C-alpha cells in the first residue's frame, strides 16, 4: 500500500523524550480505571476510561478487533544443547500437498539452526523432556528474517500448552498468570495475534454494558497483530520504510453497520489503531470511496500525515513508542502538532505509556479543525 504524505515529515518529527518510569510494567488494578486523555478539543481534558460511553452519542458505532493473543513465545534448545527462543509470528493454514502444522517464527540463538535440524521446545527448561520437537524447514520472509517450522501437531494447541505470553520488549518482567488474563481483551475470540490490540484492554463488561445502555452500536473486525508492530523505523525518509504485513478481515455485518452509522450522521469509532488499519485497508480495497464491501487478506498499509481517511471518525488509542509507525498513524489522524502537544501534556501529567498504560480519545483532524 502507498504511503500518503503532506509536508515532508521525517523520523525526527515523531520523536519525544519519555521518562522510563512512565512505561507501564503492569496493568491497572481494574481495566476501566485507567486514565483517559480526552484530546478531542483544543485543550486536553483528563478523564477516567469508564467515562468513555458518556462521551459518545447514541447511534455512534464503536468497532473492536476480536483477535486473540496466542502464547507465541517458546523456550527451547537445539540438539547441541544451545538455547533457542522463538516468537511465532504466524500459524500457517494447512495446504494440501504441503507438510501440515507449519508456523513462521523469529528465532534467537547463538547460532541459527539449519534447515533439516530440529529444536525441542517446552514451557520451562525443566519441562523440555516433556516438550515437542519442531523441524526447521528453512528461512522465509523479508530478508529471510523468519524461520518456517513444522510442529508435530496443531500449533495452537501446542502453543497454549507450552508457550508464554508474548509481552512487548519494553515490559521487563517474565510473563505471569496476571498477564495471561490482562494481556487479552474481554472479547478476544479469533486466535492469531502475537501482540494485543492494547487500546481494547481498557474495556470491561461494565463499559460494554454502559455503551449498550447509551445506545452505541458495536461491530467487529479481525486483524492479527504481528511482532512487526514493535519494529522501529530506521530511515529518516519515511518513504523508505518497509511496512510489515498482517492478516485482516472486515465482515459484511461490519460494512453494513458502518454504512448505517454514517447514513444517520453518526461517528464510527475505532477501538485502537489495529481496528483503524483494518477498516481503512478494507476501504482502499473496496471502491476507494468508502467501505463498500467485505474484505479479507494481507495489509501492509502505512499511514502517515496526509493520508485520506475514509471510514474512521474517532479513535481510542494508547500512547505509542517514539518514532514508531503508530506515532505516525495517530499524527495523521488527529494532526501532528496536536498529537505532539497531547503527548507533552501526558508526560507532564504522569500518564502511563505503552501496552499496559493509559488511553486517549481523538477526533479526526478535519472534524476538529486545524492545529
Cα 159 to Cα 122: distance, rounded to the nearest angstrom: 9
Strand, coil or helix: 246: strand
Lowest-confidence pick of 149-153, 206-210, 228-232, 309-313: 228-232
- Please state, in angstroms and as integers, the Cα–Cα distance from residue 171 to each residue in 101, 174, 241, 246, 304, following that order: 30, 8, 25, 23, 27
Can you tell me which residue has the cell 478531542?
Answer: 40
pLDDT at 152 over 50: yes
CB atoms within 10 A of CB 350: 11
pLDDT at 23 over 50: yes
Cα 14 to Cα 104: distance, rounded to the nearest angstrom: 31
What pLDDT does 3 receive? Answer: 41
Of 169, 132, 129, 171, whose CA–CA distance to 154 is shortest?
A: 132
Predicted TM-score (pTM) of the model is 0.93
Residue 156 near residue 71 (C-beta atoms within 8 A): no
316 by Cβ neighbours in 10 Å (0-12 / 13-18 / 19+) ranks as buried
Confidence of residue 239 (pLDDT cuts 50, 70, 90): confident
Backbone angles phi, psi at 241, to 5 degrees: -75, 135
What pLDDT does 228 receive? Answer: 78
Which is more confident, 199 or 81?
199
Backbone angles phi, psi at 109, to 5 degrees: -155, 160
Can you tell me which residue has the cell 476501566?
Answer: 32
Confidence of residue 230 (pLDDT cuts 50, 70, 90): confident
What pLDDT does 370 receive? Answer: 38
Cα 199 to Cα 361: distance, rounded to the nearest angstrom: 10
Spell out the alpha helix ranges (H) of the chain. 52-55, 155-162, 177-182, 205-214, 252-263, 273-285, 325-334, 336-348, 365-368
Confidence of residue 4 (pLDDT cuts 50, 70, 90): very low
CB atoms within 10 A of CB 239: 11
Lowest-confidence pick of 47-61, 147-161, 222-236, 261-275: 222-236
Strand, coil or helix: 138: strand
pLDDT at 125 over 70: no
Amino acid at each position: 500500500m502507498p504511503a500518503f504524505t503532506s509536508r515532508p515529515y521525517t523520523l525526527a518529527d515523531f520523536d519525544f523524550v519519555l521518562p522510563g518510569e512512565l512505561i507501564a510494567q503492569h496493568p491497572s488494578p481494574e481495566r476501566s480505571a485507567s486514565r483517559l486523555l480526552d484530546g478531542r478539543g483544543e485543550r486536553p481534558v483528563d478523564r477516567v476510561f469508564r467515562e468513555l460511553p458518556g462521551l459518545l452519542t447514541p447511534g455512534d458505532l464503536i468497532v473492536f478487533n476480536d483477535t486473540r493473543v496466542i502464547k507465541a513465545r517458546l523456550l527451547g534448545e537445539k540438539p547441541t544443547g544451545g538455547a533457542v527462543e522463538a516468537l511465532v509470528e504466524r500459524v500457517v493454514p494447512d495446504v494440501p500437498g504441503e507438510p501440515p502444522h507449519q508456523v513462521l517464527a523469529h528465532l534467537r540463538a547463538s547460532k541459527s539452526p539449519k534447515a533439516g535440524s530440529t529444536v525441542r521446545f517446552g514451557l520451562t527448561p525443566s519441562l523440555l523432556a516433556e516438550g515437542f520437537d519442531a523441524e526447521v524447514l528453512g528461512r522465509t520472509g523479508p530478508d529471510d528474517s523468519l524461520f518456517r517450522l513444522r510442529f508435530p501437531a496443531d500449533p495452537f494447541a501446542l502453543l497454549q500448552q507450552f508457550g508464554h505470553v508474548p509481552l512487548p520488549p519494553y515490559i521487563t518482567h517474565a510473563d505471569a498468570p496476571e498477564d495471561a488474563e490482562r494481556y487479552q481483551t474481554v472479547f478476544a475470540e479469533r486466535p492469531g495475534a502475537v501482540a494485543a490490540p492494547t487500546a481494547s484492554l481498557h474495556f470491561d463488561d461494565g463499559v460494554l454494558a454502559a455503551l449498550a445502555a447509551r445506545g452505541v452500536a458495536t461491530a467487529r473486525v479481525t486483524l492479527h497483530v504481528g511482532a512487526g508492530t514493535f519494529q522501529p523505523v530506521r530511515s529518516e525518509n519515511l518513504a523508505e520504510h518497509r511496512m510489515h504485513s498482517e492478516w485482516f478481515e472486515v465482515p459484511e455485518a461490519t460494512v453494513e453497520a458502518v454504512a448505517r452509522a454514517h447514513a444517520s450522521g453518526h461517528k464510527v469509532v475505532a477501538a485502537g489503531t489495529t481496528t483503524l488499519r483494518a477498516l481503512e485497508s478494507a476501504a482502499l480495497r473496496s471502491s476507494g470511496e468508502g467501505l463498500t464491501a467485505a474484505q479479507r487478506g494481507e495489509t501492509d498499509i502505512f499511514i502517515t500525515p496526509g493520508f485520506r481517511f475514509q471510514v474512521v471518525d474517532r479513535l481510542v488509542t494508547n500512547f505509542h513508542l517514539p518514532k514508531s509507525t503508530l506515532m505516525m498513524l495517530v499524527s495523521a489522524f488527529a494532526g501532528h502538532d496536536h498529537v505532539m502537544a497531547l503527548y507533552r501534556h501526558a508526560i507532564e501529567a504522569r500518564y502511563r505509556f505503552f501496552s499496559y498504560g493509559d488511553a486517549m480519545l481523538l477526533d479526526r483532524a478535519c472534524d476538529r479543525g486545524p492545529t
